[in-house]
């Protein structure tokens, strides 16, 4: 593999700036006109605006695009559009080079988890909304490029996909998807969704297993797929190696695997996460927690303090790979906030596979 160092964007540089006009409250273009256009012009960054027209537009375009024209691909939307771009790049025959194109994120959605994470890594105090946009615009103009982890995700009958942020099942996935109908409220949609779901808290049954970061695993062989090779995962329908830990409980309220710090602008879910630590930060909450205690956890998460609340139902561990087999026939699993096929799922982290413009 060619080594592409972290470092500084070369100048002059030419960016493709993809804007989803429907993201968040539907104001991404206005935000671009009011804040970003001038910042980029003042920083001398040439950019071509591409307004996405529909779902999968960006994915299809990036799968075919001539990348030699672009020094960076910048996404102004929520996390969903970046998910499309990354998967488009990794579907290319030249994926190895394509995924090293520096990516950038400007928050235009309602979740904006990656934007909040890079703002957090820059050491600045927490901000939301337009202040977060201005901060990310500033970081983009500085143009420092870092490596970012990528997680490959296997589902039973869908093609393998790639994730840069999170894998969720149970409470968090349900809130994320059920709150879509409140998206015109912006980030507040998650608060509304959380309160609605707390009022009828569910138990989710399944089997969860993981490979600890400390383990030196025997190599497993999934069949060779185009794209990065997964060395830790056996085929999804085959038993796991002995060095995997199977969680004794089978009744959960949530499972959340995070690879960046923020789950949303104001939810610091994985305070220890860094951009390329090569770690999946795995959280699960056992059944039996009261709605009040769960609400307390989410309130503490706003400051990243949920791990210090001594909640007996919350478990946190650092892993390299995981497998989840839900028992109930219906449910929601999300990858980077997007719904994926429901059923068995497994994932493995690829350290620093992509590059992101950060502070
Ligand atoms: N012009 C468009 N019209 C409708 N959907 C679009 C358009 N452009 C992109 N999309 C799709 O909209 C979906 C949501 O985008 P995204 O996640 O970026 O924004 P969001 O949902 O507002 O933000 P967040 O994930 O932070 O809540 C993505 O699946 C994307 O493909």
pLDDT reported for residue 226: 84
- Tell whether ligand 1 has an atom less than 6 A from the beta carbon of residue 79: yes
> Which ligand 1 atom is at minimum distance from the Cα of 111?
26
Secondary structure percentages of the chain, helix, strand, coil, to 5:
30, 30, 40
DSSP calls for 97-121: HHTTS-EEEEE-SS--HHHHHHHHH
SS3 340: strand
For residue range 210-241, list pLDDT tens digits in order.
999 998 776 666 677 889 999 999 999 999 99
Cα–ligand 1 centroid distance for 207 (angstroms): 31
pLDDT reported for residue 310: 92
- Tell me the residue length of the chain: 359
> Residue 274 class from Cβ within 10 Å (0-12 exposed, 13-18 middle, 19+ buried)?
middle
Our measurement of the distance from residue 324's CA atom to the centroid of its chain's CA atoms, rounded to an integer in Å, reads 18
pLDDT reported for residue 4: 57
Contact between 211 and 220 (Cβ < 8 Å) = no
Residue extents of the structural domains in the chain: 7-151, 153-351
Which protein residue's CA is at the shortest distance from atom 13 of ligand 1? Answer: 80
pLDDT reported for residue 216: 78
> Which ligand 1 atom is at minimum distance from the Cα of 264?
26
Cα 94 to Cα 16, 62, 228, distances in angstroms:
19, 12, 11
For residue range 153-169, list pLDDT tens digits in order.
999 999 999 999 999 99
Fold of 153-351: Tumour Suppressor Smad4 (2.60.200)
> Residue 174 class from Cβ within 10 Å (0-12 exposed, 13-18 middle, 19+ buried)?
buried
> What distance in Å separates the CA atoms of residue 115 and residue 120, rounded to the nearest whole number?
9
Name 315's Cβ contacts closer than 8 Å, sequence gap at least 6: 247, 283, 284, 285, 286
Task: Using pLDDT thresholds of 50, 70 and 90, give the confidence band for residue 77.
Answer: very high
Tokens of 320: 């390299």
Cα–ligand 1 centroid distance for 277 (angstroms): 28
- Tell whether ligand 1 has an atom less than 6 A from the beta carbon of residue 186: no
For residue range 29-41, list pLDDT tens digits in order.
999 999 999 999 9
| Residue whose token pair is 């930060």 | 281
Q: Which residues pair with 73 in a beta bridge?
A: 16, 103
For residue range 262-273, list pLDDT tens digits in order.
999 999 999 999
Cα–ligand 1 centroid distance for 72 (angstroms): 20
pLDDT reported for residue 133: 97
Cα–ligand 1 centroid distance for 24 (angstroms): 8
Which protein residue's CA is at the shortest distance from atom 4 of ligand 1? Answer: 54
Dump strand ranges (E) for 180-330: 204-212, 245-246, 251-258, 280-286, 314-326
Fold of 7-151: Rossmann fold (3.40.50)
For residue range 78-121, list pLDDT tens digits in order.
999 999 999 999 999 999 999 999 999 999 988 899 999 999 99
> What distance in Å separates the CA atoms of residue 336 and residue 260, rounded to the nearest whole number?
11
- Tell whether ligand 1 has an atom less than 6 A from the beta carbon of residue 21: yes
Cα 12 to Cα 42, 44, 49, 54, 358, distances in angstroms:
13, 7, 17, 31, 18
- Tell whether ligand 1 has an atom less than 6 A from the beta carbon of residue 188: no
Active-site residue list: 79
pLDDT > 60? residue 1: no
pLDDT reported for residue 189: 83
Record the pTM. Answer: 0.95
For residue range 329-346, list pLDDT tens digits in order.
899 999 999 999 999 999
Contact between 16 and 101 (Cβ < 8 Å) = no
For residue range 276-317, list pLDDT tens digits in order.
999 999 999 999 999 999 999 999 999 999 999 999 999 999
């Amino acid at each position: 593999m060619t080594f592409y160092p972290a470092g500084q964007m070369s100048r002059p540089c030419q960016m493709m700036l993809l804007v989803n006009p429907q993201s968040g409250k539907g104001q991404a273009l206005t935000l671009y006109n009011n804040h970003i256009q001038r910042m980029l012009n003042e920083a001398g960054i040439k950019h071509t605006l591409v307004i996405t027209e529909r779902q999968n537009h960006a994915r299809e375009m990036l799968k075919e695009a001539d990348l030699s024209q672009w020094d960076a691909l910048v996404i102004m939307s929520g996390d969903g559009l970046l998910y499309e771009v990354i998967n488009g790049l990794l579907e290319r025959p030249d994926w190895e080079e394509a995924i090293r194109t520096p990516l950038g994120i400007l928050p235009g959605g309602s979740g904006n988890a990656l934007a909040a994470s890079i703002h957090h890594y820059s050491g600045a105090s927490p901000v939301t909304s337009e202040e977060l946009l201005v901060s990310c615009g500033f970081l983009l103009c500085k143009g420092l490029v870092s490596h970012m982890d990528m997680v490959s995700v296997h589902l039973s009958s869908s093609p393998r996909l790639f994730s840069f942020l999170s894998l969720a099942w149970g409470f968090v996935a349900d809130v994320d998807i059920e709150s879509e109908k409140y998206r015109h409220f912006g980030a507040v949609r998650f608060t509304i969704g959380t309160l609605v779901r707390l009022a009828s808290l569910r138990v989710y049954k399944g089997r969860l297993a993981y490979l600890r970061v400390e383990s030196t695993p025997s190599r497993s062989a999934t069949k060779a797929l185009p794209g990065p090779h997964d060395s830790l995962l056996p085929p999804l329908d085959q038993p796991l190696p002995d060095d995997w830990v199977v969680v004794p409980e089978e009744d959960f309220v949530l499972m959340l695997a995070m690879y960046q710090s923020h789950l949303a602008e104001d939810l610091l879910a994985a305070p220890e996460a860094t951009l390329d630590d090569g770690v999946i930060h795995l959280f699960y909450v056992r059944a039996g927690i009261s709605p009040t205690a769960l609400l307390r956890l989410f309130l503490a998460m706003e400051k990243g303090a949920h791990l210090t609340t001594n909640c007996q139902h919350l478990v946190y561990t650092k892993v390299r790979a995981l497998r989840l087999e839900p028992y109930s026939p219906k449910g929601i699993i999300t990858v980077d906030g997007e719904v994926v096929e429901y059923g068995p799922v497994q994932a493995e982290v690829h350290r620093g596979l992509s590059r992101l413009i950060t502070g």
